[in-house]
Chains A and B, each alone.
Chain A
């Protein structure tokens, strides 16, 4: 039986970078939470097999993954089942266990994650990816070919060492015909909580320049916010905890722009 786990998924959005540690999982998590707060049913597919960050960020430590007739049941982050997640993090007995796999094995599991998970009805499936342009990225796209990928959100930090990798990811998107929904500049400045001085810890403006250079939409900047980092560490909902913060405003604007481009 060929099960198309994505039959009732309306939109699929990849979260890509090319560069590691820029905040793909953070942005995926915050986008997902914002979408759930906006009344959407959301899924997160975490295809970072070596370093899966999503389970901790959403406080869903080590539940068991069950099988049903339609395939694997995703793990729900909330009792109302508005946020479904699949990650290799749920399949590891020991959270410190290293997944030391070469490409073909990673490709096979990702295929299962896409096709054999009973996602059910979702407004949006977000796909969190590891850095690079390799097996995981190709596997996701190949398996999503039967469905449809609405596009990708690209995350960068401001400095050139980051945008340098993201340029290559943009080429990847062009070559694989993935529409670029826009670029997010993360870690964009730090406001000292003591004196309010803004420091450009990882430089400034690179994300916006990259958007201009490549003709992409600039979705917005998200500042370095220790409150955001702390809530992610604890697996708490930042948007519920700090709705007055400028980080919340920044994320909301990004979500609204992404949603309008999906409905367009």
Chain B
């Protein structure tokens, strides 16, 4: 049964929820008895369908944070560009931020729409070997708001995984919204058959950010996703005029470095603030190619593997 059936009432908790059939919203719903009996809670067949569909996808990497606005989408986009610079690799970028999809803009794909064919939805190709899917491609106007509760977001993510014709893919990068909620649980649940290689965690140096990121790391442990490592973004700003460094987001509690030491996680790199990053993202261009010698681009290149490498190992990204 669909997670939120078409005939369900407005506050349907979802057929696989503990409250299925029992919540006050269930009164009067035609499916109430089925849900209450537990029959609807059988494992979602979509999990197996997705497992089969994604056998052509070699590696799946989540980009998580817990904190908003730290650079998850920026990182996901540029990781995808860096991986795709090797023509022999097929890269896919899936944006599961349903309410605030940033990937279309950052990838220069605003206004693109998704096509349906016999084998499912076709993703949008930025390069021959770089495919992208986002709810942004399903919205007809930049003002459209996706005002959906959890169960409906859950359904969309299931469709993204099951119905998109990804084809043969070396790396599927999944960009996520901040938090530890429906989108995150759905991604983990629906990929439970297909498997997730690991997660890259993005943070900025200050404690206000780290305190959310620690929760995300706990989430990963709880749902058994290996943490590949942590990236500290917005790590200092070099004034273009006097070249002095300012800590706009100060690491008052030791930044990502101390957190990684405490939690025994690899610190994959630190990326400084650079106004050209924001500009490139707004213009939909990769700053790795726009300003390859900027300190930020150099930092990214040190994080990203030699693009010729193809072997995935736990402590590096490829």
A residues bordering B, Cβ < 8 Å? 18-22, 25, 49-51, 53, 56-57, 95-104, 106-107, 130-135, 137-138, 157, 159-162, 164-165, 167-172, 175-176, 190, 192-195, 197, 199-203, 224, 226, 229-230, 232-234
Contact = CB atoms under 8 A, between A and B. Distances in A.
B179 A232 contact: no
A229 B206 contact: yes
Contacts of A162: 69
A29 to B, nearest CB: 10
Contact of B179 (A51, A97, A159): A51
Which 7 pairs show the lowest CB-CB distances between chains A and B?
A21-B69, A20-B68, A103-B150, A132-B99, A195-B242, A50-B179, A171-B145
A164 B212 CA distance: 24
B204 to A, nearest CB: 8
B182 to A, nearest CB: 5
19 contacts: A19-B69, A50-B181, A51-B67, A57-B208, A97-B215, A98-B219, A100-B185, A102-B17, A131-B99, A133-B99, A134-B99, A134-B149, A159-B281, A164-B102, A172-B145, A190-B248, A194-B242, A199-B240, A203-B279
A264 to B, nearest CB: 27
Contact of B248 (A176, A200, A226): A226
A202 B106 CA distance: 14
A2 to B, nearest CB: 15
Contacts of B207: 56, 233
A104 B143 contact: no
A97 B218 contact: yes
A201 B275 contact: yes
A40 B140 CA distance: 44
B182 A102 contact: yes
A234 B248 contact: no
B211 interface: yes
Nearest to B72: A20
B143 A130 contact: no
Contacts of A170: 143
B182 A197 contact: no
Contacts of B278: 159, 161, 201-203
Nearest to B142: A167
A20 B180 contact: no
Chain B residues touching A, range: 35 or more
A169 B68 CA distance: 16
A159 B67 CA distance: 19
B247 interface: yes
Contacts of B215: 50-51, 96-99
A194 B212 CA distance: 32
A165 B102 CA distance: 8
A58 to B, nearest CB: 12
B9 interface: no
Given A104-B19, A107-B149, 16 more contacts: A51-B68, A56-B207, A98-B222, A100-B180, A102-B182, A132-B177, A133-B147, A134-B182, A135-B149, A159-B279, A161-B278, A162-B69, A167-B142, A167-B143, A171-B145, A197-B241
Given A134-B153, A161-B278, A56 B145 contact: no
B237 A201 contact: yes
A131 B240 CA distance: 32
Contacts of B155: none
A106 B17 CA distance: 13
A137 B100 CA distance: 14
B34 interface: no
B24 to A, nearest CB: 10
Contacts of A159: 278-279, 281-282
A161 B241 contact: no
B121 interface: no
Contacts of B247: 226
B239 interface: yes
A95 to B, nearest CB: 7
Contact of B181 (A53, A102, A138, A201): A102
Nearest to B279: A203
Residue of B147, B153, B185 ringed by the most chain A CB atoms within 10 A:
B147
A22 B102 CA distance: 14
A214 B150 CA distance: 28
Interface in B73-125: 73, 98-100, 102, 105-106
B246 interface: yes
Interface in B192-232: 204, 206-208, 211-212, 214-216, 218-219, 222
A103 B100 contact: no
Contact of B150 (A51, A99, A135): A135
B280 to A, nearest CB: 10
Contacts of B181: 49-50, 100-103, 106, 135
Given A102-B17, A132-B177, A19 B100 contact: yes
B305 to A, nearest CB: 26
A212 to B, nearest CB: 15
A168 B136 CA distance: 11
